[in-house]
Amino acid sequence: MHHFFVSPDQIHRDKIEIVGEDFHHIIDVLRIQNQEKFVICDGDGSDYLCKIGEQISSEKRLTAQILDVYPSESELPYRLVLYQGLAKGKKMDEIIQKGTELGVSDFIPFESQFCVVHLKEAKAIKKKVARWQKIAKSAAQQSKRGRIPQVHLPIFLSKLDKFHGKSLIAYENEKKRSLKEVVQQWEHPVDQINILIGPEGGFAEEEVSTLEKAGAESVSLGKRILRTETAGMALCAQLNYALE
């Protein structure tokens, strides 16, 4: 069944206003028929089962009649925040797309000591974040998420001094602690999990110890060195396996 996001202000008591590109998508691209059901999501955890109500083609607008409303069942039982070392080229696009499919709710890019990508002028960064946010919305639509993940403005890793919930640093030089051992020791349920993935150049030792002082635990993802765009996805998938 098709699945769209609308902003909450389009949702009224028993109907939803559809305009603009969503009107075009429903009528011209997907050619949804009058009695056909589809799901509209408010991006904040509720899904609305709908069918087409009134259609005013001249104004490219229609109302979707609400048949039922229920909590989005595709969200993880914990908030998953991915702190991602800024990576080169299109890697961030891939990380945001795949991370969205795996249930990430917030992407927080960061610059750290071994980053090859630097936070230069704010304008360029704002443009990148806007593009990444679009990728997150379309990946959320495709994967039928109940929420559109938020892509935050990048931060400097050195500024991170506290976390809410549990925090894991995927550290390539961690030789002792496995993810399994750490997660097994947690008291469940956990409401938020922060994961930190280094850039192509990895984490500096002092960065890891600073993050550990802020309460994060460093874990190994195995004996192989994963690319930065692989590591976050591997960690998300293993957490989903263990906790979802």
CB of 195 to ligand SAM, least distance (A): 9
Query: Residues 228, 233, 236, 239: which binds ligand SAM (CB under 6 A)?
Result: 228
Query: Residues 17, 94, 101, 172: which binds ligand SAM (CB under 6 A)?
Result: 172
Separation of alpha carbons 27 and 91, rounded Å: 34
DSSP H helices in the chain: 20-24, 91-101, 122-142, 179-185, 205-213, 228-243
Residue 74 CB contacts under 8 Å (≥ 6 apart), including other chains: 143, 144, 145, 146
Question: Which helix H or strand E contains 196, and what residues bound it?
Answer: strand 192-197
Q: Binding of ligand SAM at residue 221 (CB under 6 A)?
A: yes
**Between 94 and 172, whose beta carbon lies closer to ligand SAM?**
172
**Between 49 and 182, whose beta carbon lies closer to ligand SAM?**
182
Q: Binding of ligand SAM at residue 180 (CB under 6 A)?
A: no
CB of 114 to ligand SAM, least distance (A): 7
Structure token digits, residue 197: 């993935």
CB of 172 to ligand SAM, least distance (A): 4
Using CB positions, name the residue nearest to ligand SAM: 198
**Between 197 and 236, whose beta carbon lies closer to ligand SAM?**
197
Which region among 8-16, 41-49, 151-159, 166-174 touches ligand SAM (by CB under 6 A)? 166-174
Query: Residues 220, 238, 240, 243: which binds ligand SAM (CB under 6 A)?
Result: 220
Of 229, 234, 128, 242, nearest in space to 181 by CA? 242
CB of 31 to ligand SAM, least distance (A): 44
**Between 123 and 224, whose beta carbon lies closer to ligand SAM?**
224
Structure token digits, residue 114: 């071994």
Residue 163 contacts residue 214 (beta carbons within 8 Å): yes
Specify whether the backbone of 163 is left (phi greater than 0), alpha (psi in -120 to 50) or beta. Answer: beta
- Find the distance separating the first CA and the last CA of the chain, reported in whole Å: 23
Which spans of this chain sit near ligand SAM (rule: CB under 6 A)? Answer: 170-172, 174, 197-198, 200-203, 220-222, 224-228, 231
